[in-house]
Amino acid sequence: MKRLASGLWFVLSVSLLGAAVAQSTPGFIHVDEIRPGMKGYGLSVFRGTEPERFDVEVIDVLDNFRPDQDLILIRTPHPLLDRARGVAGMSGSPIYLDGRLAGAYAYGWSYGTDPVVGVTPIASMLAELTRPVRLEMFPGAKPLPGLPRAQSEVARPSRERFAGLPPFRGEQPVTALSTIRALQEKSSRTEGPVGLHRVSTPIMLGGFTDSVAHMLAEELEPLGFVATQSSTGGSARGGPTRFEPGGAIAVELARGDIAITGVGTVTHIARGGRTLAFGHPMMEAGATGLPTATARVLHVLVSELRSFKIAETAHPLGTLVQDRQPAIVVEPDISAARIPVRVRINGVEGAPKTEWHVEVASHRILTPSIVFAVIVNAVKSTAGDVQDVVFRARSKIGIEGQDIVSLDEQGYSPIGAASPAAFSQLRMFGLMEAAFANPFETSRVTSVDLEMDVEFNREVYQVAAASIAYDEVDPGEEATIYVRLRRVDHEDTIRAVKVRIPHAAAGQAVRVVVAGGNQMAIEQPRPGSLADLIEQTQRRYPATSLVVALQLPTRGLTFEGHVVNSLPASALNSLQLVSTSEDSRPFVTQSRTEIDMSKVVVGGANLTLQVREVARRQLLGE
C-alpha cells in the first residue's frame, strides 16, 4: 500500500507540476497576441553545443491548422537558413516573440524556395506536460539517484492480460522486421498535413557498413526519419550534462560499437526539469521509454532536397516518456532500460574484429529490427564474402520473469553469411516479439547473446526430386517415397522413406511434401501463457532433418493447450460449434516422418498420390 501511495503521489505531483507550468504564462506569448510583421528570434545549435540566435519574422497565424491547434508561419532570414530553409534536426528550436516563448520550429514545405517554416504554439506543447508519467509504463526504467524517495518508488509491473496490443502472431512466420513494418503500415495510414510536412528527424547511423545502413534507412525513413551515416558518438565525451532551450537533444536507439541516434532540439524546460522538444512527434508512439542524451552538432548540410544536421550524442540523460502530436516530452530523472547485445563470429581467419557489444533501446516495436541490424552488420563486417556458407547460430535470450532461453539453429546461404534473408527467420526474433507483445503478461527482452560459427562451403543436402514406383497406392498400406538428394562433388543419393496411407484417404488424392526441417511448420496448441509461447518457439524441426509430410484428407483443431488431429467432418463441425468462445482453429492434418541427415537440408519437392478405393489384396481376396 505504501508503494502504491508513493507511486500515486509521483503521478499526481508530476501532473500538478505540468498544470502549474501551463497556467504560469508570463514567459509565453499566446497566438491571439501574435500579429503579422512581429519580429523575434529563435535558438538552435548550428555547430558544437552552444545555441545560436537567428532572426524570425511573423507572416501570420493559421487558425485551426489542425483541430484545436493553430500554426504560426514565420520567415527565418539568416545566411545559413536562407540557403538551407527547413532543416531536419532544428525541430523544436524555440521561437521567441516580444521576448516570450511562442512555440517550436516544426514544419516546412517540400521544394519551397523561401526560408518559411511553421511553428507549433507553445500552448499545445505545454498541454502534454499534464499527462501522467508512471514508471510501470516503461518496463526496466529506473529513477535516477537523488530523487525524493516518493518519486523513487517503482511500481511492480502488472502480470494481468493487457489490452491495446496487436495480437501476437504465434502461428504465423515472424521475421526480424515484422514489428517495424507493422508500424510502417500504421504510419502510412496516418497522413500528414496536406502540402505541409513536419521537419524530418535526422537519424545518425554510426559504425554500419554501407549496405546495412541502406537497409536500415529504408526501414526507418517511412517513420519520418532522414538517415545518414555518422559517428558512434565516441568523440563527444565531455559534452553538456544538462538540456537547455535551443540545445541539441538525441534519442538513442543504440549505442556502443554501432549507434543509431535521432536528433532534434530542446524547446522548453519546465519547472522540475521535464523537457519539451521537437514540436512534432518522433513516431507518434504515445507513452514510450526511449533513452535520450544531450548532443553535439558537427555540421548543417545544405541540400536542395532536404537539409539536415549531422550530429552525435554527448551525455546520456533521461528518457523520452511521451511521443505526441505537438511534441515529445523527456523526463531527465528517469534512466531508460537498455538491452545489452553481444554478437561473436567464429570461423573467419584474419578478421580484424570478431565481437560486437551494443546497448539497444528496450522498445517492443524497434528492438527486434535494431538487433537484426546489429547482427547483419557484425556478420557483414567479419564475413562479408559473397559465397556459399553454412552457419550455426547459438543464441541466448534473456526475458523478464523467465529463465534464459537458449536456441541452437543451423542454416545455409548461397550468397554469403551477411544475407538478411538468411537471418531474418531466426527463431530469436519470434522470441523477442513474444516477450514484448504477448497478451498474457508484461515482459520484455533483457539481454541478447549470439555466437555464430560460419563455414564457407556447400556441404548441404539439396532435395532434387521425390518419386514413387506406382501410379496408385493402397489405403491402409505403406508406400515408399524415394527422395533424391544432391551434394556438390558427390553422386546423388536416394533415401527411401516409408509412409502409411490412412484408410480415410481411400479414393482420394493426397499430397506429399519433402523439405528440410526448418521449412516445416508443426501444429501448435493455442498458447495460454508466455511460457507456452517460449516452449512453442523451441518446438521446431532442425534444419539438418529431412522431413516427409503426408497431407491427409482429414482436419484437426487447435485449442488452448491442446491439438486434436484427424477429425472426421461431423466431429470437426461439432467441436467448432461448441468451442467458438475458445477461438479453435482448423488445420490440415499431416503425418510426418523425420530423418536426421547431420547436414543442413535445403530445397524441397512434392508429389500427389492417388489412393485406390479398395486395396488390391482385398480385391484379390487375400
Instruction: Answer yes or no: is 170 within a domain.
Output: no
Q: What is the CATH number of the domain that holds 90?
A: 2.40.10.10
CB 534 within 8 A of CB 402: yes
Q: Which residue has the higher pLDDT, 553 or 500?
A: 500
CB 300 within 8 A of CB 84: yes
pLDDT at 505: 83
Separation of CA 313 from chain center:
22
Q: What is the CATH number of the domain that holds 438?
A: 3.10.20
Which of 173-177, 238-242, 351-355, 583-587 bottoms out in mean pLDDT, i.e. has the lowest?
583-587
Continuous segment of H or E residues that includes residue 572: helix 569-578
Residue 160, Cβ neighbours under 10 Å: how many?
Answer: 9
| Alpha-carbon span 607 to 203, nearest angstrom | 50
Q: End of a domain among 407, 439, 455? A: 455
Band (584; pLDDT cuts 50, 70, 90): very low
Tell me: do 354 and 313 sit in the same domain: no
pLDDT at 128: 94
Tell me: do 260 and 284 sit in the same domain: yes
Tell me: do 385 and 256 sit in the same domain: no
b/e per residue, 191-214, with b = 16+ CB within 10 A? eeeeebbbbbbbbbbbbbbeebbe
| Alpha-carbon span 194 to 279, nearest angstrom | 18
pLDDT at 527: 83
Tell me: do 229 and 367 sit in the same domain: no
pLDDT at 25: 54
Tell me: do 146 and 79 sit in the same domain: yes
Residue 243, Cβ neighbours under 10 Å: how many?
Answer: 26
Q: Stretch 496-515: mean pLDDT, rounded?
A: 88
Instruction: Answer yes or no: is 73 within a domain.
Output: yes
- The pTM assigned to this predicted structure is 0.80
Tell me: do 404 and 422 sit in the same domain: yes
- Whether 184 shows a pLDDT value over 60: the answer reads no
Q: Stretch 252-276: mean pLDDT, rounded?
A: 94
| Alpha-carbon span 87 to 598, nearest angstrom | 57
Which of 192-196, 312-316, 331-335, 370-374 bottoms out in mean pLDDT, i.e. has the lowest?
192-196
Which of 227-241, 556-570, 602-616 bottoms out in mean pLDDT, i.e. has the lowest?
556-570
Q: End of a domain among 420, 455, 490? A: 455
Q: Stretch 471-498: mean pLDDT, rounded?
A: 92
| In the block, residue with C-alpha cell 513516431 | 283
Mind listing the pLDDT tens digit for each residue in 54-111? 999 999 999 887 777 899 999 999 999 888 878 889 999 999 999 999 999 999 876 6
Residue 40, C-alpha cell as written in the block: 523575434
Contacts of 50 (CB under 8 A, 6+ apart): none
Tell me: do 346 and 332 sit in the same domain: no
Instruction: Answer yes or no: is 208 within a domain.
Output: yes
pLDDT at 10: 38
| Alpha-carbon span 404 to 397, nearest angstrom | 6
- Whether 306 shows a pLDDT value over 50: the answer reads yes
CB 448 within 8 A of CB 428: yes
- Whether 38 shows a pLDDT value over 60: the answer reads yes
Instruction: Answer yes or no: is 474 within a domain.
Output: yes
Q: How many domains does the chain have?
A: 3
Mind listing the pLDDT tens digit for each residue in 324-374? 999 999 999 999 999 999 999 999 988 889 999 999 999 888 888 899 899
Tell me which amino acid residue 570 is. S
Contacts of 508 (CB under 8 A, 6+ apart): 553, 611
| Alpha-carbon span 612 to 120, nearest angstrom | 75
The residue range of the domain holding 412 is 339-455
CB 444 within 8 A of CB 364: yes
Tell me: do 475 and 401 sit in the same domain: no
Tell me: do 550 and 442 sit in the same domain: no
User: Closest Cα partner for 566 from 584, 554, 575?
Assistant: 554
Which of 43-57, 325-339, 496-510 bottoms out in mean pLDDT, i.e. has the lowest?
496-510
CB 226 within 8 A of CB 202: yes
Residue 579 CB-density burial (10 A; 0-12 exposed, 13-18 middle, 19+ buried): middle
- Whether 284 shows a pLDDT value over 90: the answer reads no
Q: Give 265-319 as a DSSP string.
A: EEEEE-TTS-EEESSS-SS--EEEEEEEEEEEEEEEE--SS-EEEEEEEEEEEEE
* Sheet with 461-467, edge to edge strand ranges: 493-500, 478-486, 461-467, 601-602
Instruction: Answer yes or no: is 167 within a domain.
Output: no
Percent of the chain with pLDDT over 90: 47
- Whether 572 shows a pLDDT value over 70: the answer reads no
CB 492 within 8 A of CB 466: no
Band (112; pLDDT cuts 50, 70, 90): low
CA separation, residue 501 to residues 208, 468, 511, 549 (Å): 54, 13, 11, 12
Tell me: do 403 and 541 sit in the same domain: no
Taking every pair of Cα atoms in the chain, the longest distance, rounded to a whole number of angstroms, is: 106
Instruction: Answer yes or no: is 175 within a domain.
Output: no
Instruction: Answer yes or no: is 177 within a domain.
Output: no
Q: Which residue has the higher pLDDT, 552 or 549?
A: 549
| Alpha-carbon span 208 to 215, nearest angstrom | 10
Q: End of a domain among 268, 302, 336? A: 336
Tell me: do 34 and 125 sit in the same domain: yes
Instruction: Answer yes or no: is 189 within a domain.
Output: no
Q: pLDDT averaged over the chain?
A: 81
Task: With both helix axes pointing from N to C terminus, report the angle between 427-437 and 530-538 in degrees, rounded to the nearest 10.
Answer: 180
Tell me: do 145 and 49 sit in the same domain: yes
